[in-house]
Homo-oligomer: A and B are copies of this chain.
């Protein structure tokens, strides 16, 4: 009854998912790992019991002892592993991005449609965060009427030196892009990117923060403040404005303290702190769905749409213009949400 999972990519996020499979979740275990750095894979395997190390992702996918596959390797390699898993008829959980180009995502969608059933889940963990789920529930219930606008902020305390303005869109805002599509239940039609005053904490030549404006198909306008040198905390904000009311994420601290003339509470320091539980819930949902013979959550289509919107955002960042989002037609496989 225990799901034997193979993990491709044993870097930071891969190790975190392996820990989750080994120590936190119910009904799954790590059966095999692989990594471009075989020594690292072997070290990770040595920390567990009874784990095979494969030379390549393809070998791992082919392993008959692997029931399902987790892809946490470098983004540009996602496509080949997801396609191989689909070809092998094995369920695959792929960390975002599904693939780094529109064309690669389309090949995955095509393959899955040809397979005739969903085999891919993409790791947009915010869909499993309790606060975002409560927000979507309120929006869907109709309590606040038809949505008109959505406000969001994605504040990262700091980023590594190799981070670029483009990555603010493809690595940070991509989550808000998925949230907007999911909470509002519709596609994004156009993107604008505005450049506010640059933070003195950003490296020279780095446009940080950005204000990303998403136009949904129905006209709902989403503004996302995205910054990656916020310093003070990892701060995620969100609000949907409807015709009859609004719904917003609350501050997430569990206790309020009073000292030295202030009441105060903690803002999460990192994305790990903020979304730790969402990762657990997401992954358990996948394990349960796979054990039940299917999959769940964000689909290959969601991964495709996110990548296309990010591409569009990069053009909007370059040109300063409003750029329409061009999506292919949504296959029937992805019709039911």
Please tell me if A221 contacts chain B, counting CB pairs below 8 Å: yes
Copies, count: 4
Please tell me if A7 contacts chain B, counting CB pairs below 8 Å: no
Given contacts A26-B24, A209-B148, A259-B244, contact A254 B131 (CB under 8 A): yes
The chain A residues found within 8 Å of chain B, CB to CB, are 1, 22-27, 49, 130-131, 133-135, 138, 143-149, 151, 153, 194-201, 209, 211, 213, 216, 218-221, 223, 225, 227, 229, 231-233, 235, 241, 243-267, 269, 277, 284, 288
Residues from chain B with a CB closer than 8 A to the CB of A266 are: 134, 261-262
* Complexed CA–CA distance, A209 and B146 (Å): 13
* Complexed CA–CA distance, A213 and B248 (Å): 21
Structural contact, B197 and A221, CB atoms closer than 8 A: yes
Structural contact, A147 and B197, CB atoms closer than 8 A: yes
Closest Cβ neighbor of A250 among chain B residues = B256
Structural contact, B201 and A223, CB atoms closer than 8 A: no
Structural contact, A257 and B148, CB atoms closer than 8 A: no
Residues from chain B with a CB closer than 8 A to the CB of A233 are: 258, 260-262
Residues from chain B with a CB closer than 8 A to the CB of A153 are: 151, 241
Given contacts A232-B260, A232-B261, A261-B269, contact A225 B255 (CB under 8 A): no
| Shortest Cβ distance from residue A157 to the other chain B in the assembled complex, whole angstroms | 9
Structural contact, B223 and A223, CB atoms closer than 8 A: yes
Structural contact, A149 and B209, CB atoms closer than 8 A: yes
Offer 30 A-B interface pairs, CB within 8 angstroms, sorted by A. A1-B49, A24-B26, A26-B26, A134-B253, A135-B254, A135-B255, A143-B257, A146-B197, A148-B196, A149-B209, A153-B241, A194-B213, A196-B221, A199-B243, A223-B223, A231-B244, A232-B244, A232-B245, A232-B259, A233-B260, A248-B256, A250-B253, A250-B265, A251-B263, A253-B263, A258-B267, A261-B266, A261-B267, A261-B269, A262-B265
